[in-house]
């Protein structure tokens, strides 16, 4: 494996869009599933990301009950619009019961894009994803709507997210060129390596995953005796329960010395590993406080030896992967 000495900007698909390998995922700043989130800190986190060298910000129509994520990006970074790359998504919104609704009809995609442009106070979205396939709408129809946005200049590149089957990619690609794919991926959730990453590499599609830290677990800051706050949505996932919880803590204890000897935190090691995997263009690092995104941004100037990376890989293989599929992000 070739290890990059300095992680410079990387090209998204076959476009003219270049992004920093560490991107800020802007879901946590809304506080919907994260605790102790304030607007003041969220705005400060966005500014800290930019000041730390990050130029890539990932949001979505559904990030916030009233689009707070997109609105805050405009508020915090609007004066830097020509210096940043904004990705957003369509096809998911909140129902009256505050449950996610999949709606990827062409008319919905068009209206959600227009509303996102207004929230972001911009004339274009650099990268626009179909957030998730809608079982009630043929993927080709959703792709057609996004292609029209592309042709109209409302968006500069199209992507897909939370696709699980190659036939879904091929259906979308038959109508609209895919520049990026956004799945979940990290040291413990690697199922995309078997089919989706190879497909994306073959078709020159960037893979830009979320959850490189497995919702913070791989940062190593949750103690074994952690007591969950009622609103913390992470506790519902299998990795945060029972034997999986114990095995992952054992794994973190095994790689902690490798991180220390390389001058990295566990979070930086997990992100670095992700960014070194074939086919990965950037990793979405969620944050709700400045110090969190500042830490992961520093990953872009870190270096790990081939031997250290090999030891990490062996520890991952001993730990084993997770097969559970997370909720849409």
Give me the pLDDT at residue 322, please.
73
Residue 7 is assigned to a structural domain of this protein? no
- Read off the pLDDT of each residue in 239-248 and give the average, rounded to a whole number: 92
> Is the pLDDT score of 324 beyond 60?
no
Residue 121 near residue 80 (C-beta atoms within 8 A): no
The range of the structural domain enclosing residue 106 comes to: 15-319
Residue 58 is assigned to a structural domain of this protein? yes
DSSP assigned state of 133: -
Residue 109 near residue 140 (C-beta atoms within 8 A): no
> Is the pLDDT score of 1 beyond 50?
no
- Read off the pLDDT of each residue in 126-150 and give the average, rounded to a whole number: 98
> Is the pLDDT score of 329 beyond 90?
no
> Is the pLDDT score of 128 beyond 70?
yes
Residue 328 is assigned to a structural domain of this protein? no
pLDDT tens per residue across span 74-125: 999 999 999 999 999 999 999 999 999 999 999 999 999 999 999 999 999 9
Residue 4 is assigned to a structural domain of this protein? no
Show Cβ contacts of residue 2 under 8 Å, excluding neighbours closer than 6 positions.
none
> Is the pLDDT score of 267 beyond 50?
yes
3-state secondary structure labels for all residues of 256-289: HHHHHHCCCCHHHHHHHHHHCCCCECCEEEECCC
Domain count, the chain: 1
pLDDT tens per residue across span 172-224: 999 999 999 999 999 999 999 999 999 999 999 999 999 999 999 999 999 99
The share of the chain scoring above pLDDT 70, in percent, equals 96
304 to 2, 25, 257: CA distances (angstroms): 11, 24, 13
> Is the pLDDT score of 4 beyond 60?
no
d(CA 104, CA 139): 8
Give me the pLDDT at residue 6, please.
46
Residue 242 is assigned to a structural domain of this protein? yes
- Compute how many other C-beta atoms are within 10 angstroms of the C-beta atom of residue 123: 9
| Mean pLDDT estimate for the chain | 94
Residue 1 is assigned to a structural domain of this protein? no
Least confident range from 24-28, 31-35, 315-319: namely 31-35
Residue 215 near residue 234 (C-beta atoms within 8 A): yes
d(CA 17, CA 320): 35
d(CA 299, CA 283): 11
Residue 257 is assigned to a structural domain of this protein? yes
- Read off the pLDDT of each residue in 143-162 and give the average, rounded to a whole number: 98
Q: Which CATH number covers residue 298?
A: 3.20.20.100
Q: Which residues are catalytic?
A: 63
Residue 3 is assigned to a structural domain of this protein? no
């Amino acid at each position: 494996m070739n290890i990059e000495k300095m992680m410079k900007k990387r090209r998204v698909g076959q476009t003219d869009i270049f992004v920093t390998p560490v991107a800020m995922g802007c879901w946590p700043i809304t506080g919907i599933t994260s605790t102790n989130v304030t607007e003041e800190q969220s705005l400060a986190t966005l500014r800290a990301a930019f000041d730390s060298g990050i130029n890539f910000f990932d949001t979505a129509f559904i990030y916030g009950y009233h689009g707070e994520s997109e609105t805050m990006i405009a508020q915090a970074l609007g004066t830097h619009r020509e210096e940043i790359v904004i990705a957003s998504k369509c096809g998911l919104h909140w129902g009256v019961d505050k449950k996610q609704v999949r709606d990827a009809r062409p008319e919905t995609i068009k209206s959600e894009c227009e509303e996102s442009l207004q929230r972001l106070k911009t004339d274009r979205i650099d990268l626009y994803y179909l957030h998730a396939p809608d079982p009630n709408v043929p993927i080709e129809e959703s792709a057609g709507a996004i292609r029209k946005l592309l042709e109209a200049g409302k968006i500069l590149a199209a992507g897909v997210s939370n696709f699980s089957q190659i036939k879904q990619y091929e259906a979308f690609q038959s109508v609209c060129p895919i520049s990026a794919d956004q799945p979940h991926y990290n040291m413990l959730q690697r199922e995309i390596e078997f089919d989706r990453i190879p497909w994306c590499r073959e078709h020159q599609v960037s893979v830009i995953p979320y959850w490189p830290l497995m919702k913070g677990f791989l940062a190593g800051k949750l103690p074994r005796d952690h007591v969950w706050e009622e609103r913390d949505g992470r506790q519902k996932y299998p990795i945060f329960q029972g034997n999986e919880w114990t095995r992952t803590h054992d794994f973190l204890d095994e790689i902690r010395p490798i991180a220390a000897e390389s001058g990295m935190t566990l979070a930086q090691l997990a992100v670095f590993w992700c960014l070194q995997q074939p086919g990965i263009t950037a990793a979405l690092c969620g944050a709700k406080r400045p110090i969190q995104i500042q830490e992961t941004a520093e990953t872009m100037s870190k270096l790990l030896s081939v031997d250290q990376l090999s030891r990490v890989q062996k520890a991952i293989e001993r730990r084993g992967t997770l097969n559970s599929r997370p909720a849409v992000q």
